[in-house]
Structure 1
Amino acid sequence: MKIVRVQYTTTAAFAPINQANIAAIVEELKQLNHPGIKYGCWLLPDGKTFMHFDQLESEEAHQVLMSLNSFNKFAAELLASGQEAEAKLELLTLVASTEDFW
C-alpha cells in the first residue's frame, strides 16, 4: 500500500481553477472505478491551500492515477500557475484505521 499526502498553496486567483481541475480528477476516477485508488482533496481555511490524500493499493495504482488525462491537466496548470508555496509530498505509513484496506 502507498499513502501519499501532498500540500501546497496556490494564488487566490488560481484556487477556483485548481478546484475545478481536482473535481475533474475525481470524476474521471469515479468513471474508472479502480478498486485500488482512494483519492481525496481538502481546501484549508485560507481558501488557497490544498491538501491531497491518496491511498493506493500498489505502485501500479499510483501510475494509473498519474496517467489520467485530468491529472496531467491539473499538474501542468498547477505548475504554470505560480504557486505561493510549492508542493510538499509525504509518504505515510498506516498505523491503525477503522477502515479496511487492501
Structure 2
Amino acid sequence: MITVKVTYTVKSEFVQQNLENINGFMQDFKEMKHVPFRYNVYLLEDGKTFLHLAHYQNEAAQKQILAVPSFKLFQERRDASDIGHSHKVEIMKTVDVSTDIFG
C-alpha cells in the first residue's frame, strides 16, 4: 500500500475556489469504483490549510488517479494560486489498520 499526505495553505480569497476545484476531481474519483484507492481531503482549523490523504493499493492505482484530467487541473490551479512554500508531500508507511481500507 502507498499512503501519501499532502498539505498546503492557500490565501483566504482562494479558499472557496479551491473547495470548488476539489469538488471537481472528487466527483470523478467517486465514479472510479474499480480503482483500489481511498482519497480524503480536509480543511484545517485555520480555514485555509488543506490536507489530502491518499491510500493506494498499489503503484498502478496511484498512476491511474494521478492521471485524471480534473485532478491535474486542480493541481495546476492550486499551484497557480501562489501557495508559496507551504506545499508539503509526505510518503507514509502503514503500520496497521483497524479495518481493511480496500475491503
Q: TM-score, normalised by structure 2?
A: 0.91
Q: CA deviation at 1:35?
A: 3.7
In the other structure, the counterpart of 2:5 is 5
1:42-101: CA deviation from partner (whole Å, max 9, x where unpaired): 000111100000000111111111111110110000111001543110011111111214
In the other structure, the counterpart of 1:49 is 49
Equivalent residue runs for 1:1-102 within 5 Å: 1-101=1-101
After TM superposition, where is structure 1 displaced by more than 4 Å over at least 4 residues in a row?
A: none
Contact 1:11 1:84 in 2 (8 A): no
Distance 2:34 2:11 in 1: 32
Deviates more, 1:13-22 or 1:82-91: 82-91
Distance 1:73 1:41 in 2: 16
- Secondary structure of 1:33's partner? coil
Percent identity over the alignment?
30
Instruction: Flag structure 1 segments of 5+ consecutive residues without an equivalent.
Output: none
How well do the aligned residues superpose, as a CA RMSD in angstroms? 1.3
